[in-house]
Amino acid sequence: MLDYETLKLIWWLLVGVLLLGFAVMDGHDMGVGTLLPFVGKNDVERRVVINTVGPHWDGNQVWFITAGGAIFAAWPLVYATAFSGFYWAMLAVLWALFFRPVGFDYRSKVADPRWRSAWDWGLFVGGSVPALIFGVAFGNLLLGVPFHFEDNLMPVYTGTFWALLNPFALLAGVVSLSMLTFHGANYLAIRTEGDVQTRARIAALIFGTVMLVAFAGAGVWVSSDMPGYVITSVVDTGALPDPLDKTVEIQAGAWMGNFASHPLLWAVPGATFAGGLLALLFAWVRKPVLAFVGSAVAELGVIGTAGVAMFPFVMPSSSDPRSSLTVWDSVSSHFTLEVMFWAALIFTPIVIAYTGWAYRMMAGKITIAHIEANDHSAY
Amino acid sequence: MITEEVVDLSRLQFAATAFYHFLFVPLTLGLSFLLAIMETTYVMTGKEIYRDMTKFWGKLFGINFALGVTTGITMEFQFGTNWAYYSHYVGDVFGAPLAIEGLMAFFLESTFIGLFFFGWDKLSKRRHLLITYLTAIGSNLSAVWILIANGWMQNPVGSEFSWVTMRMEMTSFWDLVFNPAAQAKFVHTVSAGYVTGSMFVLGISSWYLLKGRDIEFAKRSFRIAAAFGFASALSVIVLGDESGYAVTEHQQTKLAAMEGMWKTEEAPAPFTLFAIPDDEKRENSAEIKIPYALGLIATRTATKVLPGIEELEAQAAERIASGIIAVKALEQLRARTADEETKVIFEAHKADLGYGLLLKKYTSDVSQATPEMIAQAARSTIPKVAPMFWTFRIMVLLGFSFALLFALSFWFSAKNTFHEKRWLLRWALWSIPLPWIASEMGWFVAEYGRQPWTIYGILPTHLSTSTLTANSLYGSIAGFLFFYTGLLVVEMFLMFKYARLGPASLGTGRYTGETAPALKTAH
């Protein structure tokens, strides 16, 4: 049996893995949705774009659902506090996601061009709005969120929706939106040819550059004495979780502390630049598969950077810092973490294996001829 | 402070979005296996018509499935957005089956559904068949896990309250999985899904037969639906009885409300076939009773007594009194002012903690609760009788009507005369919406009957919500109303359009309404 402290750390890593799985898998089809109205100039081109992800978007979306479920099971306080606190942001994500299943499945079932164009924009919303909001949410986590716990551990959020839309959080939103769009553009370049592929390549070059510039900008912002959070009491990392049993201070530049004490961690933001620059290079020389791998590495870097900068914090509280949620005190019981660890250990490799098989079975370019030959069955 | 209005609006939003979600779930559960049966027949016989059947019913399946996915995400989000205290209080137990549902079931179902639609030319026959089965198994596995989660809300086994973390914590994963309430619910719910899928195929096929079109296609579809539906309708009744038995064991308040049993009757208690329950006067009028029936069905003995509402309220009042002690001890423990003796007292009364929490609706300091408050809280442990009594009876009545329809359909399809029985075809056509009504009634009985708890006997509903304002709730309900109405209109439009088009929508050139069938192959 693994000890509690180890399991708490493992679950921090596993949530990271699930978020990365979401960014790599669902991220690319959200990027494709965002690009859809722009890289497809007519109906058949748009059908090409949609059908590159047609068989896979649904399975990919489960990374998102499972990440949500895993946070519920492993970090119930984070799930409760973040989802209720970010009420309108979560509803905006949810309602934007509504457009995806119906957009994909219903769009080509009616020939009317107005119907199809409406769903194309629906897919655009379903891809871009969640991608933007996830980054905004991460930006706000880095800044700290105004919430506290009552004595019975009822989370109370005291901010407004509009306060979430501050400059730093919006910059983080630009990072995530451009990151997923970049990744989607690389995927599109793999699965298409001709005009659509040419436009996808241009999109990759644009959004890859935007991502790197925005990420660097956010990095400068954080390192130039942006307030971060520090636990000032002694932490018993193996203790039963009680988020109110600690003291926390806000200190300028605190988010740089982990990098200062463990210089090896610079490799994490380094991965963003290495992956992003290589992906740009490969997109430039028309090697889209390698570019896709590169943008996936960049995603690892971006998500990982936010994670290690804040560690052990997951959701700091700006209004009542001691209520801040950390890796140590927002978790489920020892037993549940252990059960869920085994569940994840068994099923995640199986999922990755059959997802890989599914992609292999459906491999190959989606062409205009393919769409015309399968008018009744293609999306 | 969370107002009663916020609690009511949160319940309304959850109920509305859950009912809406369950418009799409049963058809997915049932149709996925019917597709697998049709495709198995295709692979075994090599007859093209069975592949066309799989593809056509698969198209309708897809239209329905899209909204199932759409509305399912709402359900997962909503625990966190609107039921934050619930999520904290029981996430340690309740979150696990939800996460496993994602890992084990949603991935399987959602990965392979794409290959089901787009893999016809890329996969061998057998591989495609395997995909179809994996999709069906995936959808049914998701029902397993969500009903394990729901079963725990009804009968919270395998868990214990911890005052340090102020929540329920899992003590046995296998108790959770093999919870009898969950197992009975699972089989009853999926059988209801199979009935829904069968009725859908049976009814639409009947319509083609009534119109005299696509005869061969419709006849074969009808036969498969009749056979699968007959088996499912029988099992839904048998397993529904099992689900009812689980209720008798674990949720006596639900049973008493369902049956309108105001007073404890001598064993074996009679079954009230018809009555007009009056929640104000606490009595029934115009009763028609079948002697002994309820006692025999519900307890499976002739001697076990079923407690009536008055007796259950008296029991609840006792548990509330004990719960007050638990709440007081807990407050001292949380304030770190407790001594060892308080811990002992808390442990002794812990089982009634939830009953003490019921009083929080009336007073923030439960030790100051008046006898009237205790009486009111005890009374609140029984759900309203009239809605429970009626929804349950409508569900059962519909269930028996399905069994009869499928029995006749099966009989006449064995004799191969069903296509001439226009009354049977009309009956099947007009029955299409009924399984949905039955399913929603069943969920109403299950969930309304669990009130006033979110976790039966553990966590009162009025303590489970998020700290939101009523205006936020009005806003989100308006949003859901807007999106869900629009989506339903679009879905129904497509469903009717493609059902009317029939197998011609496949563009094979072999079915009614298609022009110039040779055009495509001629090129």
More confident residue, A275 or B240: A275
Nearest to A336 among B84, B127, B169 (CB): B169
Q: Which of A247-251, A286-290, B286-290 has the lowest average pLDDT?
A: B286-290
Domain boundaries of chain B, sorted by first residue: 4-251+383-500, 309-380
Residues of B (64-83) whose Cβ lies below 8 Å from A: 65-67, 69-70, 72-74, 76-77, 79-82
pLDDT greater than 90 at residue A376: no
B407-459 pLDDT, tens digit per residue, is 999 999 999 999 999 999 999 999 999 999 999 999 999 999 999 999 999 99
| Confidence tier at A193 by pLDDT (50, 70, 90) | very high
Q: Which residue has the tokens 């009374």?
A: B379
Global ipTM? 0.94
Q: A341 at the B interface (CB within 8 A)?
A: no
d(Cα B510, Cα B507) in Å, to the nearest integer? 8
Amino acid identity for residue B488 in this structure: L
Q: What is the mean pLDDT of residues A126-133?
A: 97
d(Cα B483, Cα B21) in Å, to the nearest integer? 13
Nearest to B96 among A79, A104, A336 (CB): A336
CA distance A84 to chain B (A): 4
d(Cα B418, Cα B347) in Å, to the nearest integer? 65
Q: B455 at the A interface (CB within 8 A)?
A: no
Query: How distant, in Å, are the alpha carbons of A72, B35, B49 from that of B503?
Result: 44, 14, 10
Q: B96 at the A interface (CB within 8 A)?
A: yes
The DSSP element (H or E) to which A228 belongs, if any, is: strand A227-231
Q: What is the mean pLDDT of residues B144-163?
A: 95
CA distance B137 to chain A (A): 15
Q: Do A154 and B84 touch (CB under 8 A)?
A: yes
pLDDT greater than 70 at residue B522: no
More confident residue, B247 or B495: B495
B60-105 pLDDT, tens digit per residue, is 999 999 999 999 999 999 999 999 999 999 999 999 999 999 999 9
| Confidence tier at B521 by pLDDT (50, 70, 90) | very low
**Closest residue on chain B to A97 (Cα):** B70
**What pLDDT is attached to residue B279?**
85
Query: How distant, in Å, are the alpha carbons of A106, B206, B217, B221, B510 from that of B51?
Result: 22, 20, 11, 12, 13
Three-state SS string across A8-71, please?
HHHHHHHHHHHHHHHHHHHHHHHHHHHHHHHHCCCHHHHHHHHHHHCCCHHHHHHHHHHHHHHH
Percent with pLDDT over 90 in chain B: 79
| Confidence tier at B1 by pLDDT (50, 70, 90) | low
Residue B307 token pair? 């407690």
Q: Do A339 and B479 touch (CB under 8 A)?
A: no
Residue B68 token pair? 């199932």
Q: Which residues of A touch B62 (CB under 8 A)?
A: 105
Nearest to A355 among B77, B111, B167 (CB): B111
Output the CA torsion sign for B292, B297, B301, B307: negative
**Closest residue on chain A to B357 (Cα):** A152
pLDDT greater than 90 at residue B491: yes
Q: Do A155 and B173 touch (CB under 8 A)?
A: no
CA distance B326 to chain A (A): 14
**What pLDDT is attached to residue B515?**
63
Instruction: Tell me the three state secondary structure of residue A229.
Output: strand
Q: Do B99 and A347 touch (CB under 8 A)?
A: no
d(Cα A297, Cα B345) in Å, to the nearest integer? 56
| Confidence tier at A273 by pLDDT (50, 70, 90) | very high
pLDDT greater than 90 at residue B266: no
A79-102 pLDDT, tens digit per residue, is 999 999 999 999 999 999 999 999
Output the average pLDDT for chain B: 92
Q: Which residues of A touch B122 (CB under 8 A)?
A: 361-362
| Confidence tier at B520 by pLDDT (50, 70, 90) | very low
| Confidence tier at A167 by pLDDT (50, 70, 90) | very high
Q: Which residues of B touch A347 (CB under 8 A)?
A: 100, 103-104, 107
**What pLDDT is attached to residue B517?**
46
Nearest to A72 among B62, B87, B166 (CB): B87
| Eight-class DSSP state of A364 | S
Under 8 Å CB-to-CB from A249, ≥6 apart: which residues?
Answer: A229, A230, A232, A321
**What pLDDT is attached to residue B78?**
96
CA distance A314 to chain B (A): 16
Under 8 Å CB-to-CB from A136, ≥6 apart: which residues?
Answer: A89, A164, A165, A169, A170, A172, A173, A176
pLDDT greater than 90 at residue B287: no
d(Cα B423, Cα B425) in Å, to the nearest integer? 5
**What pLDDT is attached to residue B523?**
37
Percent with pLDDT over 70 in chain B: 98
Q: What is the mean pLDDT of residues B176-192?
A: 92
**What pLDDT is attached to residue B519?**
44
Residues of B (233-262) whose Cβ lies below 8 Å from A: none
Residues of B (99-158) whose Cβ lies below 8 Å from A: 99-104, 106-108, 110-115, 117-120, 122-123, 127
> For the stretch B379-406, what's the b/e string if a residue is b when 16 or more beta carbons lie within 10 angstroms of its beta carbon?
ebbbbebebbbbbbbbbbebbeebbebb
Q: Do B170 and A102 touch (CB under 8 A)?
A: no
| Pairing of β A313-315 and β A248-252 | unpaired
Q: Which of A244-258, B236-250, B301-315 has the lowest average pLDDT?
A: B236-250
d(Cα A171, Cα A152) in Å, to the nearest integer? 36
Q: What is the mean pLDDT of residues A107-113?
A: 93
Nearest to B99 among A72, A106, A242 (CB): A72
